[in-house]
């Protein structure tokens, strides 16, 4: 959420350097591996370089990123709930929009998880045995045995409302943080106007500050990624690269399936558009999303495309598209689920179906909180990894390909917003005209508010 994110410096340029970080890391890693095999420079030299130089360099980057996780997730969710409650009531249009957002994200995560379970790209590698991306300075250990959560009522209460909140935060447990943020945002809505406005301002400022910190971490990302990947490749060899290629193929495949199969069908069945004509009409917005990796930066183009090319009513687009750009992140949710499962596979950890169901719910809930800017889901994914007792540093495995996948997931995010706008416009438009014929005033819900808001 957090629409104020536009102020943040674009991370696109830095993210582009991640590809170089990956390549350099692979080169250094292969060099160190060859040195270890050939005994160049003494038997212990490559391991010493990895432990004393590369590991600490990678950890500086990762820990800076980790610092932002809890405050960022808390502030974005609480702010979202507060903003939503203060600005709008929930009319028919709003309910339909939220229902479609939820379904869209859930199906997308489901497709990603099915693909990852089917192909299992991370299975051939065992980072855990090799300790490949774990810090010698003490990363979180993946917990293979204690993984199956009980689903008894008291276990569920513990999961959402732990006895010790401080420990939950220290362990990067995201679920209690989300619960707290939702309750906090709801409670802040119900206090008097000036206090609620102050809390809203404070949360917005906190989100902005945390994003500055993410920017700082991302400035070090190319070096951090090179160091982490070099250690991983040195210990795991080319197996890791094959696994990574498999991961990219599964993520892109699941995204294409969601776009062409699910969204194409929905826009044909309920949006009144043939999929081919729809993709052609919206290609400017999709291309902008692909190039900028930012749903927020694409919003003006999406609004123009929805009005000029799709001919949607202003009441619909003014409500659905801005909200979609901040909340409706099917590409992001799909990606989050895939990364967690990939890291679990690489670390040899089994995620039972109950865990994967929890992952689906968490991926959807946390994607809503992801800001619509490049690379915004990375800190959230680290929180998700910790929630499943996987080492947050496992994210390093995918950082080198994150730029490409960010372009793809943002395109899917924007495509789903436009499909939702078509469906909502058609369904509510039809209902409105039925009501007019029966002489009743049409309930355009918050769409009319949104238009009024825009002046
Ligand atoms: N770049 C994505 C967007 O703007 C968010 C993310 O997944 O990082 O939609």
Quick check: 351 and 388 in contact, CB under 8 A?
A: yes
Atom 1, ligand 1: which residue's CA is nearest?
374
In sequence order, the 6+-apart residues with CB closer than 8 A to the CB of 366 are 73, 174, 178, 333, 336, 380, 383, 384
Predicted local distance difference test score (pLDDT) of residue 41: 66
pTM of the prediction? 0.71
Alpha-carbon distances, residue 125 vs 80, 129, 241 (angstroms):
39, 9, 10
Mean pLDDT of the chain: 79
Q: What is the pLDDT of residues 402-414, one digit of tens each?
A: 877 888 999 999 9
Quick check: 390 and 127 in contact, CB under 8 A?
A: no
Give distance in angstroms: CA of 376 to centre of ligand 1.
Answer: 6
Sorted by where each begins, the domain ranges of the chain are 8-454
Most confidently predicted of 85-89, 139-143, 273-277, 304-308: 273-277
Predicted local distance difference test score (pLDDT) of residue 269: 94
CATH topology of domain 8-454: 1.10.3860
| Atom number, ligand 1, closest to the C-alpha of residue 373 | 4
| Atom number, ligand 1, closest to the C-alpha of residue 329 | 9
Predicted local distance difference test score (pLDDT) of residue 93: 78
| Atom number, ligand 1, closest to the C-alpha of residue 414 | 9
Alpha-carbon dihedral of residues 63, 66, 71, 72, nearest 10 degrees?
130
Most confidently predicted of 3-12, 235-244, 246-255, 437-446: 246-255
Q: Which residues line ligand 1 (CB under 6 A)?
A: 293-295, 329, 332, 370, 372-377, 406, 409-410, 413
């Amino acid at each position: 959420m957090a629409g104020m994110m536009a102020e943040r410096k674009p991370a696109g340029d830095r993210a582009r350097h991640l590809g170089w970080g990956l390549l350099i890391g692979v080169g250094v890693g292969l060099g160190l591996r060859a040195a270890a095999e050939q005994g160049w420079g003494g038997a212990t030299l490559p391991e010493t370089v990895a432990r004393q130089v590369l590991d600490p360099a990678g950890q500086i980057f990762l820990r800076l990123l980790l610092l932002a996780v809890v405050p960022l997730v808390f502030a974005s969710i609480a702010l979202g709930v507060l903003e939503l409650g203060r600005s709008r009531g929930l009319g028919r249009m709003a309910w339909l929009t939220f229902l479609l957002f939820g379904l869209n994200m859930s199906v997308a995560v489901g497709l990603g998880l099915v693909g990852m379970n089917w192909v299992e790209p991370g299975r051939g590698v065992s980072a855990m045995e090799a300790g490949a991306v774990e810090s010698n300075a003490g990363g979180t250990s993946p917990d293979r045995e204690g993984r199956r959560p009980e689903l008894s009522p008291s276990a569920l209460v513990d999961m959402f409302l732990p006895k010790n909140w401080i420990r939950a935060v220290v362990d990067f447990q995201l679920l209690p943080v989300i619960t707290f943020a939702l309750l906090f945002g709801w409670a802040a809505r119900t206090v008097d106007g000036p206090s609620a406005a102050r809390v809203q301002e404070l949360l917005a400022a906190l989100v902005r500050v945390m994003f500055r910190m993410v920017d700082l971490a991302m400035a070090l990302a190319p070096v951090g990624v090179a160091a982490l990947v070099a250690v991983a490749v040195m210990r795991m060899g080319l197996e890791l690269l094959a696994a990574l290629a498999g991961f990219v193929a599964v993520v892109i495949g699941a995204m294409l399936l969601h776009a062409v199969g699910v969204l194409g069908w929905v826009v044909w069945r309920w949006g009144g558009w043939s999929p081919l004509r729809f993709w052609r009409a919206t290609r400017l917005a999709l291309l902008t999303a692909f190039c900028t990796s930012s749903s927020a930066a694409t919003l003006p183009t999406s609004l123009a495309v929805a009005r000029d090319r799709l001919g949607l009513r202003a009441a619909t687009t003014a409500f659905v598209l801005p909200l979609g750009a901040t909340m409706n992140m099917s590409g992001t949710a799909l990606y989050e689920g895939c990364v967690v499962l990939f890291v679990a596979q690489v670390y040899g950890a089994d995620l039972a179906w109950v865990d994967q169901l929890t992952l689906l719910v968490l991926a959807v809930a946390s994607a809503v909180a992801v800001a619509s800017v490049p690379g915004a889901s990375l800190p959230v994914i680290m929180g998700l990894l910790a929630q499943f007792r996987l080492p947050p540093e496992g994210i390093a495995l995918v950082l080198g390909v994150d730029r490409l996948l960010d372009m793809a997931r943002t395109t899917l995010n924007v495509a789903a917003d436009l499909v939702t706008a078509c469906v909502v416009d058609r369904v509510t438009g039809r209902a409105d005209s039925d009501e007019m014929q029966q002489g009743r005033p049409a309930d355009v819900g918050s769409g009319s508010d949104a238009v009024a808001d825009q002046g």
